[in-house]
Structure 1
Amino acid sequence: MFDGAYQRDGVMPAHRPTYGGLNLLDHADGACPRFGSCHLRLRPAVLGRATFCLGDSHLSPEVVGTADAFEAVLAGLLAGVAASGECLGRAGTGVAALAWTLLDPPTTPGAVGRALDDYVEAQVHGTLDLAYDVEELVVDPSFAGTPTGVTLESIAERFGFPLRWHAGFVLAVDQVDAEFRGPAIPVLAARVHREFARAGGPVDAALIGRAAASVVVEPHRWADRGPIADTLQHLKQLWHVLVRFGTPYGT
């Protein structure tokens, strides 16, 4: 994408871009929640040193742009609607939902987007400094009162930006879909829930995180499931199911 600029002599791995997403619809769960339940919202000044592409960069997209030359990305969003055959309306999903906001911004701020496959990827060039470039840290409520939550709160306090809790996603273990990411996922969900749920609670981000940590530090515990890489992949897919079908906390 960058004409080999990051593969030239003297360029260190730390010089490479930081990857994220452009939250066009201001979704509470971020621009691309498939990559995690918590995210950093960056300050507007970062836009000046960011590049963007429609879809994930590992697919070698042809639709790219910058904040000052964004027309191709907008056109790509609208072209995607036509190509997908989706109805351009609030009930649309994927690129249709993204494109809709260009014509009529949503009236309900803070809604979740559940963007698993369709998003505008952002690449931030240059150093990303937590103390200067971050506007806020947005955290899943399942981490409240946990060691992870304490760590996130201490990071926000250390670097001087606010921490905000979004609505999160929860799903009853018997409601884990067997088709969206395959029949192995409900089986894994039942095991994760049985071994790691607190007081029979629902499937949520913290539960999946506890299981993932166990896979890494206790691989023998999961040897019956085959290669560890496969189990980690299935846990990621369980997160995708949670994002797609979960409901906000307290509903």
Structure 2
Amino acid sequence: MLPRATFCYPDSYFEPADFGVADRLGLISLAERERPKIDTLDSYIEAHVHGPLDLAVDVEAIVLDPSYRETEIETAAAALKCPVEWHSGFRMTQRSLQECVDYRGTKAARLAELLLENGVLTPRLVGLARQASGADQKLLKRVWHCVAKFGSPLIPQV
């Protein structure tokens, strides 16, 4: 797959000028230099695969948030031709709502508060909200940013 991939930094949303291919990838050093200046959620090298993607051959694993355990998402992932792994998880509590206001705005924080379940917001709850008719997808993306930035692990890291 690497011969069919191109890479950019930062995220294509920012209309980057820096691109690379696998054997000429100067983007890692650029990302390391830029890290102090760029938001953590945007500090990654974006990959674009050109052509077909064979999950059994090209994908090492699909990594899910633990909030998807025992859901239709886990069932669907298990049917794929690659292993399923779990990361430590994200959960944002009501205590982080003010940080969310400062980071992604009052509307995002208000929506995050509405989506709390037992005082906690997880990626699964954001995903369920995205399925609702008339859901504001851009606003939900901002809510997801808050969960990813201010959420704590569901599973303690060892």
The TM-score, its normalising length taken from structure 1, stands at 0.55
Alpha-carbon separation, structure 2, partners of 1:58 and 1:242: 20
Does 2:131 align with 1:210? Answer: no
Alpha-carbon separation, structure 2, partners of 1:201 and 1:146: 20
Amino acid in structure 2 at the alignment position of 1:129: D
Gaps of 5+ in 2: none
Query: Does the 8 Å contact 2:28/2:45 carry over to 1?
Result: no
1:46-65 matches, cutoff 5 A:
46-65=1-20
1:121-200 matches, cutoff 5 A:
121-155=46-80, 159=81, 161-176=82-97, 177-193=100-116, 197=117, 200=118
Deviations 1:140-199 (A, max 9, x none): 1000011222222222xxx2x211111110111342221100011221122222xxx3xx
> Aligned with 1:48: secondary structure?
helix
Alpha-carbon separation, structure 2, partners of 1:76 and 1:123: 18
Alpha-carbon separation, structure 2, partners of 1:79 and 1:246: 26
Q: CA deviation at 1:57?
A: 2.5
Q: CA deviation at 1:78?
A: 5.2
The structure with the largest alpha-carbon Rg is 1
Alpha-carbon separation, structure 2, partners of 1:77 and 1:248: 25
Superposition RMSD in Å:
2.2
Q: CA deviation at 1:74?
A: 3.8
1:75-94 matches, cutoff 5 A:
75-77=29-31, 79-80=33-34, 86=36, 94=38
Distance 1:235 1:68, change over 3 A: same
Number of residue-to-residue matches in the alignment: 154
> Aligned with 2:74: secondary structure?
helix
Amino acid in structure 2 at the alignment position of 1:146: T
Distance 1:58 1:239, change over 3 A: closer
The TM-score, its normalising length taken from structure 2, stands at 0.84
Gaps of 5+ in 1: 1-45, 87-92, 96-114, 220-227
Amino acid in structure 2 at the alignment position of 1:56: D
Q: CA deviation at 1:65?
A: 1.3
Amino acid in structure 1 at the alignment position of 2:114: R
Alpha-carbon separation, structure 1, partners of 2:32 and 2:153: 30
Alpha-carbon separation, structure 1, partners of 2:151 and 2:13: 28
For residue 247 of structure 1, what is the aligned residue in structure 2?
A: 152
Amino acid in structure 2 at the alignment position of 1:54: Y
